[in-house]
Amino acid sequence: MDRLTKFALFIACLILASCSPKYYVPNTQNVPLLTSKGDFSGGVAGNGSQFEIQASYGIADHIGLMADASLFKQKDDENGSGGSGKYFEGGLGYFSRLGAASPWIFETYGLFGIGNMENHFPNTVNKYPNTTGKIEANVARFALQPAIGYKHKYFEIAASPKLSYINYSDIKGSLIFDDQDQIKYLIDNKSSLLFEPALTLRFGLKQFKLQLQLSKSLNLSNEDFKQDKSFITVGCGYQFTRD
């Protein structure tokens, strides 16, 4: 097989992937790297199909709160197929410097979030009469997010190997895609355990920084689950620290 044929097949796979149902899109991880009581970190992040607002606050020495809100809206294809979703998350956690004046910080947060998602494929209705071409569901997620990071006045880097459990409920609609009943598919795969490592980079001024995050989402329950498996987001944020 020559290179041109391989490239054409690769592009075809990308096109097919973009036109298939998608039931899970990971959000940007909130990795604040707080260091003391009264610290605050907030910002926005996203990419071409999602937008997020994040905030974190040190409510006591070594204890932090965080909250996130995410909106996902995939641009519809020419045939009207697409999807969207909303997600809200909160968490409580522990943070500490690795030494009295160390630039290295360890943190871990327990998180819980709820949201919803929908997919619409009106182009399937002609092939499968008596269906609506739509599916929707609520989703809940529990997660444990440890992280270790290096914090400098003008630069930060952090690694966060997140472990998540997602569960779908109130699954409804009537969508058949590629001869597969998607309602039954999601009911049969309503729970998943995911490993979601991320690398976060921030650079800029002491209080205002730009952010880049690279992340993977590995489904440990079903590696073929219809979801995003990797993504990149960019953003900016404000930080206030007492240190």
pLDDT digits (tens, 9 = 90+) for 176-210: 999 999 999 999 999 999 999 999 999 999 999 99
What's the domain range around 94?
3-240
Number of domains within the chain: 1
Split at pLDDT 50, 70, 90, the class of 9 is very low
More confident residue, 68 or 9: 68
* pLDDT at site 190: 97
Q: Output phi, psi for 147, to 5 deg.
A: -155, 150
pLDDT above 50 for 14: no
| Residues 6 or more apart whose Cβ sits within 8 Å of residue 66 | 30, 32, 54, 55, 56, 57, 90, 91, 93, 109, 111
Neighbouring-strand partners of residue 201: 157, 212
Tokens matching residue 163: 């472990």
pTM: 0.87
For range 6-28, the mean pLDDT: 62
For residue 5, pLDDT beyond 70: no
pLDDT digits (tens, 9 = 90+) for 84-134: 999 999 999 999 999 988 999 999 999 999 999 999 999 999 999 999 999
CATH number at residue 175: 2.40.128
Is the per-residue pLDDT at 16 higher than 60? Answer: no
